[in-house]
Amino acid sequence: MLVAHATWHGGALCLWAERTGPHRPAGDDHPFATADFTGTSYEPLLGGAFRVTLPLQLPTHGDHPQPSAELGPEPYGGPVELRAWRVPALALEPFGAMALLQAAEHSGDVIAGTDLRYLCLIADEAADLAARGRVLPALRREDGDLVARWRPVLDDAARFGDLVRAMPAACRAAEGGRPAAAVLREALDGLVDTAVRGAVPHPLLPARAGRAPDRLPLPERWVQALTGPDPSVPREAHDDADDLIAELDAWAAASRRPTGPLRVCFRLAEPGAEEFTDDPLEEPAEPAGDDDGWRVEFALQGTDDPSLYVPAATVWAGEAPTVADAEDTLLAGLGRALRLFPDMAPALDTATPGELRLDTAGAFRFLRQSAPMLAAAGFGVLLPTWAGKARLGLRFTARTDPDEGGGAAASSGFDLKGMVRFRWDLAIGDDTVDEAELAELARLKAPLVRLRGQWVELDEEQLEAALDFLRNPRTGRMTAAQAMRAVVHAGDPALPLTGVDADGAFGDLLSGHADRRLDPVPTPGDLDAELRPYQRRGLAWLAFMDGLGLGALLADDMGLGKTIIMLSLLVHEREGGAAPAPTLAVLPMSLVGNWQREAARFAPKLRVYVHHGTGRHRDDALVRAASAADLVLTTYGTAARDAAMLGRVAWGRVICDEAQALKNSGTQQARAVRGIPARTRIALTGTPVENHLTELWSIMEFANPGLLGPRAHFRERFAVPIEKDGDERAAMALKRATQPFVLRRLKTDRSIIADLPEKQEIKVYCNLTAEQASLYRATLDDMLAQIAEADDKQRRGLVLATMAKLKQVCNHPAQLLKDGSRLQGRSGKLERLEEICAEVMEQGEKALVFTQYAELGTMLQPYLAAKLERPVLWLHGGTSKQARDDLVQHFQRDAEPSVFLLSLKAAGTGLTLTAANHVVHLDRWWNPAVEDQATDRAFRIGQTRNVQVRKFICVGTMEERVDEMIERKKALAESIVGTGEDWLTDLSVAELRDVLRLGPEAVSG
């Protein structure tokens, strides 16, 4: 097996590999290293690479380097030290390096190491910067020669910082301790330069006046070198490159964001808009004609307070309120902006520049080119409200074909095989554009046109796409299924789909609001419950989707009763003696008992079979048992193991509850569940997207296979543009594609459920005892000393171990020491927990206490029971299904006040514990969604009292500082906490010390 590694060294990508096998110490030569990739998928990408020998500082076990993590752990008890090893490597030329990095992670016969995978990420980052135009040309001196380069414009300092912290230590093994930021900048510079050269054509400049290309003026030779494979700029004896280098460096400096309280702002005003004049006493000018009445007005704007807006005319009149040095700031900013907005030069010929007048072409250049560059460089930019919105797009209209009788084959009055008449139109906003109008627009070749009272951007790419569209059939007949796929996949960046108009049931579906348009289905007669209005609408929507033969995603908030809605659907479809095929429900193990109980309570006539455990039916016996049932319950694990046998049953429907279990589409479990055939499928989850949009793709792929296209296409069209660039158009397109198949309602929406009580969340701050504080400091100092000496692989494990130990100290010293010592009087958290539980008991109420540590719950259960002289229940991962059910029933039914201790992972989902109206999170789990799910055991339908949620935090410890970071950076927190605590492993030792340190306020007294 080969594990490929790479480092950026000497301006080139250097590639080498580890191989398995016995080692033979040979001085300073790396015993496992090789540069031979013969016969692998890498070989075709390595043509032209030249061999080098790298001195790499690598973690060493005795007489040999420590194997990388990809080769598996090596049993070793001795110290690990850094030592220089000679490693054979291949240095790749720029285009070869980029090609390898874009293909390395997809190889099936070579495993990419963490350092190579990191550089693959940097190559993607470079390609993204090039694609977005976030690059600037440069001229540099390298080893005495002139070279033309493209340099990145890094407009996201936080992103750069994240990349620096994420760099594996192996990427700097050849750099003699160079800072990670310097290595990253060098690699990013080289890869960005390569990415641009790979995308920009290389025209050969003709010789002028009989001169050869290398006798051209320096700027033209520089331009030639910018686009070709060779960056060298031929030199002549009289060349003086200093001025050009200085000019380009100033251009790069202009792209950096300004500092200070004020910035220059540019406002684009359309013809006829109110304007500011250079002379405040001068009358406003008469509106100019459409072609020459555009203006870019100059102003000063507050950097932190954009509402502070001072027009240039006010500045020159000396009337800028409370703004010091306004004139100097305005002039300096305009001069800096000139390099990004060269059209502005004529306006700066006056001593008091206030605006720039533009024709339509100039206004369009400002919209598309200058405005984005100015905004990225930190200048203020104000555009008309229509900018970027009123665009030419497609509109799809579909009408039920009267010859088809409305598709009466389906109970809902429509089916996917029925025919519809369709028409595609070009539209701008709500107005369609006919062929004559488009032909006139094409003739005018105007990038900004005024159409029916509004300005519209219309570039050449859009016009060409529109003209191509007109050459294709735009009306006709197709099946409803074809129409649906057409709508989901219609449009592109040049000509997006902007509207859909359909009638009947098809229109209800495509509107995404079928639950509001459909008449609610009454509560089925055989259901022993009365559904709430929103539950009846949910039932009607599911019946509607089922009638169309479509899968659905019921994404109602946790606690709104998704299970009873599903049971209602099964009862509803069996009314009047109907006998539809059985339904298979695939569930987490923790929900099997809940579904059994709710089916027995609310739908006692349903025949339920549980397919789980060693005594479950197999093969023909399973087919007979399932065919004789209305509802078959199984677990995800059992479904994966028995997928082939389950696939023999003629299922009418497959349901996946807590469908986020399918979010990783490539797992054996997800593939197995998707492979079970059924007429329709329903996914149930309150969290359809936890971390990444590809999770939504995976769930939708289960519900409606193929609807969103291949996963790679989904990532390219939706996930990357939305997650990385915040692309609003891509987000709207994704919403349009998924909305017809998703129904989501929230508990906080009073129009959905008005009688759910309030939830009050409280942070309970606890002090450490002197013993806890001493143990905290000792644990932290010991672990940080180990982390400082650890390699990248060890470091990650040590950081997580440190956090776990410090959390245990915050809970109770006995939890960390595991010595069975006494509990009383040694923990601030335990003292506060005793007080809260005593208050709850005195009020005659019940409490849930969640901890992520089973060992802590085991210690607390007998202690609290003795202190409170009341029952204290304890449910954890080792609790059997029967014991679990007994505990839940005991807690729910007994009138006596009590405390229920629960393991967060074992009991955070799938339980209804509405007898409690107090919830305590004893030790915080840094993913809010996990805590909310646990809280929802009590805060759900059936709860009649207000719920108090207390989250314990030890003052002055890592618990408080991480909580502050989450509160301070809400947007960042969603991505950080979604992956647990792994983000801390990338911090430096100094940053870790600051996050984990013990504050003076931590100890009581």
Beta-carbon count within 10 A of 153 CB = 18
Closest CA to 191 of 117, 107, 99: 99
**Domain ends where: 199, 214, 238?**
199
Q: Is the pLDDT of residue 117 over 70?
A: yes
Non-local CB neighbours of 297 within 8 Å, separated by 6+ positions: 266, 267, 268, 269, 275, 276, 311, 312, 354, 355
Please check whether residue 919 is in contact with residue 848, taking contact to mean a CB–CB distance below 8 angstroms: yes
List C-alpha distances in Å: 563 to 556, 591, 744: 11, 10, 14
Q: Is residue 747 part of a domain?
A: no
Same domain, 524 and 478: no
Bridge partner list, 296: 268, 356
Query: What are residue 250's phi and psi, to 5 degrees?
Result: -65, -35
Residues 116, 97: Cα–Cα separation, whole Å: 11
Closest CA to 950 of 899, 883, 911: 899
**Domain ends where: 660, 676, 704?**
704
755 pLDDT tier (thresholds 50, 70, 90): low
As a whole number of Å, the end-to-end CA separation of the chain is 60
Q: Is residue 709 part of a domain?
A: no
Beta-carbon count within 10 A of 868 CB = 17
Q: Is the pLDDT of residue 280 over 50?
A: no
Q: Is the pLDDT of residue 441 over 80?
A: no
Same domain, 40 and 132: yes
214 pLDDT tier (thresholds 50, 70, 90): low
Q: Which two tokens stand for residue 697?
A: 């793709």
Please check whether residue 815 is in contact with residue 859, taking contact to mean a CB–CB distance below 8 angstroms: yes
Of the ranges 272-276, 502-506, 658-662, 854-858, the best mean pLDDT one: 854-858
Give the pLDDT of residue 880: 86
Give the pLDDT of residue 999: 63
205 pLDDT tier (thresholds 50, 70, 90): very low
Beta strand spans in 621-672 (E): 631-635, 651-657
975 pLDDT tier (thresholds 50, 70, 90): very low
Query: What are residue 657's phi and psi, to 5 degrees?
Result: -90, 150
Q: How many residues does the chain have?
A: 1005
21 pLDDT tier (thresholds 50, 70, 90): low
The amino acid at residue 156 is: D
List C-alpha distances in Å: 723 to 117, 490, 691: 20, 21, 10
Give the pLDDT of residue 634: 94
List C-alpha distances in Å: 438 to 234, 296, 471: 49, 29, 13
3-state secondary structure of 255: coil
209 pLDDT tier (thresholds 50, 70, 90): very low
Bridge partner list, 587: 635
Please check whether residue 387 is in contact with residue 442, taking contact to mean a CB–CB distance below 8 angstroms: no
| DSSP calls for 678-703 | EEEEEEE-S-S-SS-HHHHHHHHHHH
Q: How many domains does the chain have?
A: 5
**Domain ends where: 382, 403, 435?**
382
Give the pLDDT of residue 997: 65
Closest CA to 707 of 912, 548, 914: 548
Same domain, 294 and 189: no
Task: Average the pLDDT over 3-7 and give the result.
Answer: 91
Q: What is the dihedral of CA 8, 13, 19, 24, to 10 degrees?
A: -70
Same domain, 916 and 975: yes
Same domain, 483 and 546: no
Closest CA to 665 of 635, 720, 708: 708
Task: Average the pLDDT over 944-952 and give the result.
Answer: 89
CATH number at residue 544: 3.40.50.10810
Task: Average the pLDDT over 938-964 and give the result.
Answer: 83
Residues 258, 378: Cα–Cα separation, whole Å: 6
25 pLDDT tier (thresholds 50, 70, 90): low
Residues 551, 568: Cα–Cα separation, whole Å: 17
Task: Average the pLDDT over 632-651 and give the result.
Answer: 93
716 pLDDT tier (thresholds 50, 70, 90): confident
Give the pLDDT of residue 655: 96
Please check whether residue 726 is in contact with residue 767, taking contact to mean a CB–CB distance below 8 angstroms: no
177 pLDDT tier (thresholds 50, 70, 90): low
Residues 138, 190: Cα–Cα separation, whole Å: 12
Closest CA to 494 of 455, 467, 454: 467
Same domain, 524 and 484: no
484 pLDDT tier (thresholds 50, 70, 90): confident
Task: Average the pLDDT over 114-127 and give the result.
Answer: 89
289 CB burial (10 A radius; 0-12, 13-18, 19+): exposed
Q: Is residue 231 part of a domain?
A: no
Give the pLDDT of residue 971: 36
CATH number at residue 935: 3.40.50.300
Residue with tokens 């028995």: 642
Mean pLDDT of the chain: 80
Beta strand spans in 865-976 (E): 872-875, 899-903, 918-921, 947-954
Same domain, 783 and 648: no
Residues 692, 695: Cα–Cα separation, whole Å: 6
Q: Is the pLDDT of residue 411 over 70?
A: no
The more confidently predicted of residues 654 and 659 is 654
| DSSP calls for 973-1003 | HHHHGGGTTGGGGGS-HHHHHHHHPPPGGGB
Query: What are residue 495's phi and psi, to 5 degrees?
Result: -140, 80
Lowest mean pLDDT among 68-77, 389-398, 625-634, 765-774: 68-77
In degrees, rounded to 5, the angle at the alpha carbon of residue 90 between the alpha carbons of residues 84 and 93 is 125
Non-local CB neighbours of 926 within 8 Å, separated by 6+ positions: 962, 966, 976, 977, 980, 981
Q: What is the maximal distance between C-alpha atoms in the chain?
A: 104
Same domain, 531 and 602: yes
| pLDDT single digits (tens) 41-68 | 898 888 888 899 999 988 888 778 888 8
Same domain, 522 and 473: no
Bridge partner list, 478: 420
Residues 222, 257: Cα–Cα separation, whole Å: 27
Please check whether residue 477 is in contact with residue 418, taking contact to mean a CB–CB distance below 8 angstroms: no
Q: Report the relative pairing of strands 552-554 and 583-587 from DSSP bridges.
A: unpaired
The amino acid at residue 354 is: G
Q: Is residue 927 part of a domain?
A: yes
Same domain, 410 and 482: yes
Residue 611: give the domain boundaries: 515-704
Give the pLDDT of residue 450: 75
Residues 802, 219: Cα–Cα separation, whole Å: 57
Q: Is residue 482 part of a domain?
A: yes
Closest CA to 229 of 202, 265, 264: 202
Give the pLDDT of residue 333: 87
Task: Average the pLDDT over 604-612 and give the result.
Answer: 94
Q: Is residue 323 part of a domain?
A: yes
Q: Is residue 731 part of a domain?
A: no
Give the pLDDT of residue 208: 42
| pLDDT single digits (tens) 922-946 | 987 766 667 888 888 888 877 888 8
Same domain, 525 and 639: yes
Which stretches of 492-561 are DSSP H helices? Answer: 504-511, 514-517, 533-548
Please check whether residue 127 is in contact with residue 183, taking contact to mean a CB–CB distance below 8 angstroms: no
pTM: 0.51
Which stretches of 76-166 are DSSP H helices? Answer: 94-103, 114-131, 157-166
Residues 183, 190: Cα–Cα separation, whole Å: 11
Express as a percent the part of the chain with pLDDT over 90.
20
Beta strand spans in 898-1001 (E): 899-903, 918-921, 947-954
Residues 123, 607: Cα–Cα separation, whole Å: 57
Task: Average the pLDDT over 79-102 and give the result.
Answer: 88
Task: Average the pLDDT over 887-898 and give the result.
Answer: 90
Same domain, 951 and 804: yes
In degrees, rounded to 5, the angle at the alpha carbon of residue 27 between the alpha carbons of residues 24 and 32 is 45
The more confidently predicted of residues 618 and 405 is 618
Q: Is residue 753 part of a domain?
A: no
Task: Average the pLDDT over 537-565 and give the result.
Answer: 85
473 CB burial (10 A radius; 0-12, 13-18, 19+): exposed
Q: Is the pLDDT of residue 849 over 90?
A: yes
Task: Average the pLDDT over 519-539 and give the result.
Answer: 86
